[in-house]
Structure 1
Amino acid sequence: MSATSDKQSTLQYLKDYKPHIEGRQLRVLVYGPAVAGKSSFINSVKSVLEGRICTLALVDNISHDCFTKKIEKENPNTFYPFVFNDIMGLSDRKGVLVEDVKLALMGRVKDDYVFNPEHKLSEGDQYYNTTVNPNDKVHVLVCVIPADTVNQMRDEVIRKIQEIRKAASDLEIPQVAIITKIDKACPDIKEDLKNVYKSVYLKEKMEQLSVNVGILMNCIFPVRNYFEETDLNDEVDSLVLRTLRNIINYGEEFMNHKMSQSEDSDK
């Protein structure tokens, strides 16, 4: 299968995707250091699905907002059955509080909550979700790290990532990592994006990321986000689509597993 036909096949798969469980919505929580490319990835997903360069999330998301983003389909007022939670970046000083991320994983944070780096969300707050339905909970946790700063991650940021990962593991939530800005980290990739799977340098960065945060190599996906472009690029699209398809598959498997557990407990 050629790269173009493979891209079209994956694109069609994502356009046709529906959770096996009726009425369910797959929720993806995207987190990581500030300016890692979290919002740019969501924008890139929207661009590829719509076939044009789009802006959905705020790209420099260093603000305190939580953005729950739905992506509209070709028919007005119809949306893909997956949403992204794009939260403010982790930091060694300020940034999103780990305790708030843990609450978000459990579906306790309402979509319009403004994250406060000084005070965690508490039960009884108007933005604390007391009644949680399955669509409120996170089904896939995605850590976004820039390839050009993997070796510069501060110990405190790594500790926070590991703590968030531990909370997600306790909830059995599947986890992946996206390594962004690969063209900045590797001149060969900047020259030709097709070199992404040949680059020894990028592989070393991915291995370092795996060691730092404990995510397996086969769960780390290289991505080149759209940022300044005005037109789509097949190679960029293919990386974004491959990553999104894996995220969707992990989330679908998790939802089905949870449903199976629920049915077993009812017997």
Structure 2
Amino acid sequence: MTELLDQKYRDQLSTYIGKECHFRLLYKISRDGCSNTAFHQKCDSQGPTVTVLYNTNNTIYGGYLSKSWISNDSYINDPNAFLFRLHYNGSSNPLKFPVSSAIYAGYGHSSYGPIFGSGHDINTFSGTINKSGNYFSLNGGLNMGIAYNLNGQNAASVANSSLQVTDLEVYQVKDGPDPNKSAAKVGDSVLLDKPWRKFPEFNMETLQQLKEAVVDYEPESETNVTAANILLIGQIGAGKSSFFNSVNSIFRGKITSKARSGSFEHSLTTVFRKYTIKDHNSGQNLKIRLCDTRGFEEDFKIDAQEIAYILDGNMPDRYQFNPSAPFTTETFGFIRNPRLGDKIHCVAFVVDGSTIDVIPENILKQLKELQGRINQRNIPQVVYMTKMDKVCPNVDEDAANMFYSSGVRDAIDKMSDIMGLPRGYIMPIKNYESETGLEPHIDILILKALKQTTDFADDNMEDQMDKMAAEKRREEKD
């Protein structure tokens, strides 16, 4: 959910407009870019709109037009227009300011953003404005009280005389109740007014930063490790192989299917793989390997000792699993003296978030038994919660709604209790399954999860290096 406008202020604006209505976000400068072109492309000819500015003084103000925005260098005649203040210096303090010169209610010009009044009462910006730190310094002006009746207020008391904004949004105003209000509650999942977890903004800047962070990642040089090994473990159909395919797609720039994936009765993964990922822009392999192994099955118990050999770096890449002949120290290819670079540096449990209430008891038992072996080795663990679009229809509509969904939050809480892991270690994501092209919001969730996992892998490598150094000192002392 990228909208900043709280429900109470939507209700307040509906009261000012004089009828029941709901709001659909058309334009947001932190998401779409602060430019005259983007504004008019998204907002012209859309009917009634509300423009909302959020300035750095924690003040919220703006204007309403009942007529469409235009780009033909002319004023918009609108007797129903008004300016408003909703929040002032951190406190709720709504006021409405009616138009006094209706023929100058708005001004539509292709070179400018939203403009209200002659003079102009609110002139937001012209051209393109780049973000400076955590705000946009808009280049328009505030000359309030020209075409609108401020009832004794002024630009300072309405807007702190400030066009330094953290965001600007334009909403389309539609008649009647919000149809998504009743539809939002599916399986006790509703959208909350505020996110339940702090998360970067869902915009192209965040996506680029995360991609660069993952591309630039490499283990500390003193470890002599060429790539972090992340082991994906989970029940069949949860999305282990799909997660690799999703990451690979992001860095190939198109949807790919290198690893076999899908929903079948038995695990499609029959070979232990240490997958590498190539960034198609640089042509370089990432310093991350996603290790895929057999999925848990209800009627087939996974060999815990085989997993132990994987954790310890004894199993070679491309080993073919054989249920009738488990991997042992005598198996061809067994790595007898694994280096730190052969071992697993972080384990990611991949769990279908839509089925956590019905995970079979024997699957949970296998997970806990395996977790015991991981804990013995002090290997960090995370959980990738997949298929969250099935938990909340609003996440299916837009992955940016993830941290506003009560259903997703509740699923995280349940998984935290099951696994005994902090909630911050449980990362809700959406794999590419039905999509035919890349979507930035899905990419951001996946990349953020991957970045946090590499941070944990680094912690593990550092711990292993300290352990080896301590053992070496003891040997020298003896």
Which TM class, normalised by the smaller chain length? Answer: over 0.9
**Map of 1:228 onto structure 2:** 434
Superposition map of 1:185-196 within 5 A: 185-196=391-402
User: Contact between 1:96 and 1:117, CA under 8 Å: does it hold in 2?
Assistant: no
**In 1: Cα distance, 2:307 partner to 2:470 partner:** 29
**In 2: Cα distance, 1:235 partner to 1:16 partner:** 21
Q: Pick from 164, 169, 180 the counterpart of residue 370 of structure 2.
A: 164
Deviation at 1:188, TM superposition (A): 2.2
Cα deviation digits, residues 34-90 of structure 1 (max 9, x gap): 0100111111111112322222211135242222211123455x4211111111111
**Map of 1:36 onto structure 2:** 238
- Of 168-177 and 97-106, deviating more is 97-106
SS of residue paired to 1:13: helix
User: Is 1:139–2:326 an aligned residue pair?
Assistant: no
SS of residue paired to 2:348: strand
**Map of 2:218 onto structure 1:** 18
**Map of 1:124 onto structure 2:** 330
1:152–1:208 distance in 2 versus 1, CA, 3 Å? same
Q: Pick from 231, 234, 244 the counterpart of residue 450 of structure 2.
A: 244
Question: Where in structure 2 are there 5+ consecutive unaligned residues?
Answer: 1-133, 135-200, 474-478
Which amino acid in 2 is paired with 1:55? S
User: Contact between 2:251 and 2:278, CA under 8 Å: does it hold in 1?
Assistant: no
TM-score normalised to structure 2 length: 0.53
- Of 176-185 and 13-22, deviating more is 13-22
Superposition map of 1:76-225 within 5 A: 76=283, 78-94=284-300, 96-225=302-431
The alignment yields a C-alpha RMSD, in angstroms, of 1.7
User: Contact between 1:88 and 1:95, CA under 8 Å: does it hold in 2?
Assistant: no
Which amino acid in 2 is paired with 1:35? G
**In 2: Cα distance, 1:148 partner to 1:106 partner:** 32
User: Contact between 1:37 and 1:144, CA under 8 Å: does it hold in 2?
Assistant: yes
User: Contact between 1:64 and 1:117, CA under 8 Å: does it hold in 2?
Assistant: no
**Map of 2:205 onto structure 1:** 5
SS of residue paired to 1:237: helix
Give the strand-richer structure, 1 or 2: 2
**In 2: Cα distance, 1:34 partner to 1:80 partner:** 27
Give the helix-richer structure, 1 or 2: 1
Cα deviation digits, residues 210-243 of structure 1 (max 9, x gap): 2222222110000110123221111101100100
Which amino acid in 2 is paired with 1:147? G
SS of residue paired to 1:93: coil
User: Contact between 1:66 and 1:86, CA under 8 Å: does it hold in 2?
Assistant: yes
User: Contact between 1:40 and 1:57, CA under 8 Å: does it hold in 2?
Assistant: yes
**In 1: Cα distance, 2:352 partner to 2:461 partner:** 29
SS of residue paired to 1:184: coil
SS of residue paired to 2:432: coil
SS of residue paired to 2:341: helix
SS of residue paired to 1:122: coil
Provide runs of 4+ in structure 1 moved above 6 Å.
none
Which amino acid in 2 is paired with 1:264? A
TM-score normalised to structure 1 length: 0.93
User: Contact between 2:398 and 2:441, CA under 8 Å: does it hold in 1?
Assistant: no
1:154–1:177 distance in 2 versus 1, CA, 3 Å? same
User: Contact between 1:67 and 1:87, CA under 8 Å: does it hold in 2?
Assistant: yes
Deviation at 1:100, TM superposition (A): 0.9
**In 1: Cα distance, 2:377 partner to 2:456 partner:** 14
Q: How many residues align?
A: 266
Deviation at 1:99, TM superposition (A): 1.9
**In 2: Cα distance, 1:117 partner to 1:85 partner:** 19
**In 2: Cα distance, 1:136 partner to 1:8 partner:** 30
User: Contact between 1:112 and 1:127, CA under 8 Å: does it hold in 2?
Assistant: no
User: Contact between 2:236 and 2:296, CA under 8 Å: does it hold in 1?
Assistant: yes
**In 2: Cα distance, 1:48 partner to 1:32 partner:** 22
User: Contact between 1:89 and 1:95, CA under 8 Å: does it hold in 2?
Assistant: no
Identity of aligned residues (%): 24
